[in-house]
Structure 1
Amino acid sequence: MGEVGEIAEVFRTARGFDSSPLYRHLLSVVAQDRALLELAAGTRPGQQPTFALFGAVHQLLLAGTVDTLAEYYPSVVGARARPVDGDTATAFTRFCAAYAPEITALLGSRLVQTNHVQRALVTRIGLALLRRATPAPVCVVEVGCSAGLNLRADRYGFTLGGTGYGQPDASVWLHVDVPDAHLLPDVGKMPEIAEVVGVDLDPPDVTDADDRAWLRALVWPENAHQAALLQAALDAVAADPPRVRRGDVVDIGADVVASLPAGLPRLVVHTATRIHVPVGRRPAFDAAVAAFGDGGPLLHLALEDDQRVAPSGRPGIGLTATDPTGSRTIAVADGHLAWLEPLPAMREVRLDG
């Protein structure tokens, strides 16, 4: 993955772990321990070693590995989990040493594919923006789609700013704190969808127990609500999986563009994906995404713009919209979409250039 010093810096400077006191503590533990850093170095190129190492350890514990470290994981022992204390670092370090071969195998074979279902709101907003801009059927593409759960955003229910949208009996229902929800397009009205396709380097199979276990392990130990949403979405999508292409969008993007109905508007979305693209490959990634506009009018939404501040003062991630008129930040959100604060610029999105 990189030199030990570089990996230590990644752990020292990592942000966005606010909902996991355990992981916030372990970031500094790993950053100061050479053996742990060398273990994390087994993460596949482009992947974030923080998420990968913590996910690998979590999967072993969820699978039933018996160790005192499990006492700190609410996902394993429930409400009786121990808070972070003076023994946490020792327990984690010892566990990683004892199970280094198993952790190394997971780091070398798995990708960080968090697939937080709350992020489906980005796709839902994009669909509403397209419906506002055009009466035409639309194509939906998600780059870095993992198991494709968020490609079914049109079938999920949402509570935004206290108002519900979608079918009341939807099996997946997302609650997002959205102040100033009047700035949103009407997310209750969906356009006709002509085509849905995802692109992922190594898409998990929603019907495979091992793949499902890995996705579950990437949900942080304290985030029981996210874990429940993941389970519900996995079950829903397994009944009707979207089309997902295996590969790098840089290499197969042109083929995906050619497979879409020509001339129809397309929504291309990626959330917390570009961060996992090796730095030297990011210009090619950006060009491949932009090339989807060669086949029809393009709206590109990216939840990737780190270190933004919402109007309320909350630190978050910028949601960027790129249309034929240019790019603008249309909202600031929590990385896991627990909240989203829309900006007036959301009203400026258009497709007519």
Structure 2
Amino acid sequence: MDDPLAQTYDDFGRRWARGTSPLYQEWSIGIAGDHGILDLLRALPRRMQQPNLVFAAARWEGCPLGGYPEWRAWALEHWDRIVETAAARSTQTNEPNRCATLVPQFARIDGPVALLEVGAAAGLCLFPDRYGYDYAGPDGASRLDPPGGRSAVSLACRIDEPPPGRVPEVVWRRGIDLDPIDARDEAAIDWLATLIWPGPDHDARVARLRAAARVAADDPPEIVRGDLLERTADVADSAPRDAHLIVFHSAVLLYLDAEQRRRFADLVTGLGDALGRTITWLSNETAGTLPEIDAQLPEGMDASGRFVQTVDGAAVALAGQHGATYETALFR
């Protein structure tokens, strides 16, 4: 397939939506072979060509949740509305269940931690210490809750190593985002819910997102508006010196071009020396994001539907894109 945009939609359908969202799989593959819709998409800015943004904008405007021919007919009739919504909004998948794949690394750090998430959206992943975790590990099921008692938010994850025995002690939390979301804004949370793919595998994610949003709304984190390349250093410098600073992100770098990814990786790698403090860089990103990470993957490994988790640039695990799995065996 020579058309990069068609390839993007085909890849989204066959690699990411396959098996979890049959509707998005059908729509994506349908668009990949539809020159008429592809031409409409090509007329949009690159940011607005993303499958998840286009589909969420269509759903926000009331498209039918039917097969591709039905969706296509509706989209052609209401294309201006789809474009208007896509122009006003952005893709900000804020999946709190990803915390279940972050806590195993957070828990390895002794003492209090300061969390800085780049691409934070509403900051729902900045509260790993406020959620409960149901881990299915090698020795069976285990439950992990905050010291104060059972959390109203339960995150489930299948893990192939002993589950963490504690949640981190978070003493400071900040985020950076181009378009911060206030968890107290019901319409904004409705948009985040619309970004969740349709399908039975994702239904529970909507309820989980809304429950996590209530946690964030009770104690809203500070989300700094700005570009991660411009703001990461100064926001990191404001973190308390008596806490171990963790800079982390999930599915953020794929929205940058190769040169920007390189700049960010170089920035965060040298951040500890620049600020004169110890910093851990925890990354959940897709294969193909940084060549030095791809070089660490076993030959022939299929990472579809999973992030390659790295700590300070070293691959340590495959993490389910929505936090349902955590696999370390290939990297031990």
TM-score under structure 2 normalisation?
0.84
**Counterparts of residues 93-132 of structure 1 (less than 5 Å):** 93-131=72-110
Residues 1:17 and 2:3 are matched in the alignment = no
Q: 1:340 to 1:192 in 2, by over 3 A?
A: closer
Q: Of 240, 260, 282, which residue of structure 2 is paired with 1:261?
A: 240
The Cα shift of 1:163 comes to 0.3
Corresponding residue of 2:187: 210
Q: 1:313 to 1:254 in 2, by over 3 A?
A: closer
1:59 maps onto 2:60 in alignment: yes
The AA in structure 1 aligned to 2:157 is V
Query: Structure 1 residues 244, 280: closer, same or farther in 2, change over 3 A?
Result: same
* Matching residue of 1:6: 4
CA contact (8 A) 2:101 2:319 kept: no
Contact 1:264 1:297 in 2 (8 A): no
In structure 1, what is the Cα distance between the partners aligned to 2:59 and 2:97?
21
Letter in 1 for 2:310: T
Matches within 5 A, 1:321-336: 321-322=311-312, 327-336=313-322
**Paired residue for 2:166?**
189
Q: 1:271 aligns with which of 247, 250, 253?
A: 250
Q: 1:309 to 1:208 in 2, by over 3 A?
A: farther
Cα distance in 1 for residues equivalent to 2:281 and 2:117: 10
Q: Do the aligned partners of 1:143 and 1:270 also contact (CA within 8 Å) in 2?
A: yes
- Return 17-26 or 40-49, whichever deviates more: 40-49
Contact map agreement 2:247 2:280 (CA 8 A) in 1: yes
Deviations 1:247-306 (A, max 9, x none): 111111222122112364211111111111133322222233334423321211111142
Tell me the secondary structure at the aligned position of residue 234 of structure 2: helix
Partners in 2 of 1:344 and 1:37 — Cα distance? 39
Secondary structure at 2:91 match in 1 = coil
SS at the partner of 1:228?
helix
Does the 8 Å CA contact 1:57/1:96 hold for their aligned counterparts? yes
| 1:320/1:99 CA distance change after superposition, 3 Å | same
Pair 1:281-2:260 in alignment: yes
1:191 to 1:314, Cα distance in 2 relative to 1, 3 A = closer
**How far has the Cα of 1:206 moved from its partner?**
1.5
Which 5+ residue runs of structure 1 have no aligned equivalent? 62-66, 73-87, 347-353
TM-score by length of 1: 0.80
Residue 268 of structure 1 aligns to a residue whose secondary structure is strand
1:84 alignment partner in structure 2: none
Q: Is 1:158 paired with 2:133?
A: yes
Task: Please name the residue that 2:291 is paired with.
Answer: none
The 5 A counterparts of 1:54-93 are 54-61=55-62, 69-70=64-65, 72=66, 88-93=67-72
Shift in Å, 1:181: 2.7
In structure 2, distance between residues paired with 1:224 and 1:262:
41
User: How far off is 1:107 after superposition?
Assistant: 1.6
Q: Is 2:144–2:167's contact at 8 Å kept on the other side of the alignment?
A: no
Do the aligned partners of 2:48 and 2:54 also contact (CA within 8 Å) in 1?
A: no
Deviations 1:30-51 (A, max 9, x none): 1122332244346654566111
Q: Assess if the C-alpha contact under 8 Å between 1:56 and 1:107 holds in 2.
A: yes
Q: Which amino acid aligns with 2:324?
A: A
SS of the aligned residue for 1:7 comes to helix
Letter in 1 for 2:308: G
Residues 104, 341 of structure 1: CA spacing in aligned structure 2 closer, same or farther, 3 A cutoff?
Answer: same
Residue 309 of structure 2 is aligned to residue 319 of structure 1 = yes
Aligned partners of 2:38, 2:330: CA distance in 1, in Å? Answer: 43
Decide whether aligned partners of structure 1 residues 113 and 313 sit closer, same or farther in structure 2, where only a CA change above 3 A counts.
Answer: closer
SS at structure 2 position matched to 1:244: strand
Matching residue of 1:297: 278
Q: Distance in 2 between matches of 1:214 and 1:309?
A: 38
Determine whether 1:172 maps to 2:153: yes
Aligned residue for 1:339?
A: 325
* SS in structure 2 at match of 1:220: coil
Which one-letter code corresponds to 1:22 in the other structure?
L
Amino acid at match of 1:298: I
Q: Which residue of 2 aligns with 1:34?
A: 35
CA contact (8 A) 1:328 1:345 kept: no
Q: CA deviation at 1:314?
A: 7.6
1:101 and 1:38 mapped to 2: Cα distance?
14
CA contact (8 A) 1:12 1:31 kept: yes
